[in-house]
Amino acid sequence: MTPRSIRPGEMLWPLLLAVAAIGGSWLFACVTPFAAFAAVAATTERPRMALGTVALIWAANQAVGYAFLDYPHDATTLLWGLAIVASALLATAAAILVAARLGDNRRWARLGLAFVAAFAVYEIVLLIPAAATGEAANFAPVIVGELVLLNAAWLIGLAIVIEGLVRLGWPKLSRARQPA
């Protein structure tokens, strides 16, 4: 297989998702719903592009945090940033696997189950450094419950946007793209 070049039009969807994430970063002061974005990317893009999209969203989130939200410039913050990108990429990989197993026929079920997988992997992977640094209290059920609701709200909002774009004729958002 030869690498397929990305056409400029194919970057519009990932850029729209990144812009949405930037707006969310300002609105929610850095709590980016990576599980929702991972599920959406996994079900609307090719696997490599989905991973790239989530990495772009993470980079946009970090840029907003450091430039406008006064993230501390210390090793702990840098390490948490790396843990977040690792969690987000692993969550995306989990969503990709789930979406691939369900195929194209059940679009909304695929999106929902990809989200469940992404959220579980994201939180579990982040729990590892939290436990190691004594910050596991941030994973109390009430906090995780709030994060589920935030991510689910974003997922619903993004699903509405997807449906609107599909109805307007946006190419191929209605099914997972297979590798060329």
What are the start-end ranges of the H helices in 103-138? Answer: 107-133
Contact yes or no for 36/123 (Cβ under 8 A): no
pLDDT tens digit sequence for 40-63: 999 999 999 999 999 999 998 888
Across the chain, mean pLDDT equals 86
Contact yes or no for 12/53 (Cβ under 8 A): no
pLDDT value at position 43?
A: 93
The structure tokens listed for 140 are 């109390």
Alpha carbon separation from 18 to 23, 64, 71, 72, 168 (Å, rounded)? 9, 11, 19, 23, 21
pLDDT value at position 29?
A: 61
pLDDT value at position 14?
A: 84
Contact yes or no for 42/114 (Cβ under 8 A): yes
String of DSSP letters for 5-16:
PPPGGGGHHHHH
Give the chain's radius of gyration (CA, Å).
16
CA-CA distance, 86 to 88, in Å (whole number)? Answer: 5
pLDDT tens digit sequence for 130-163: 999 899 998 999 999 999 999 999 999 999 988 8
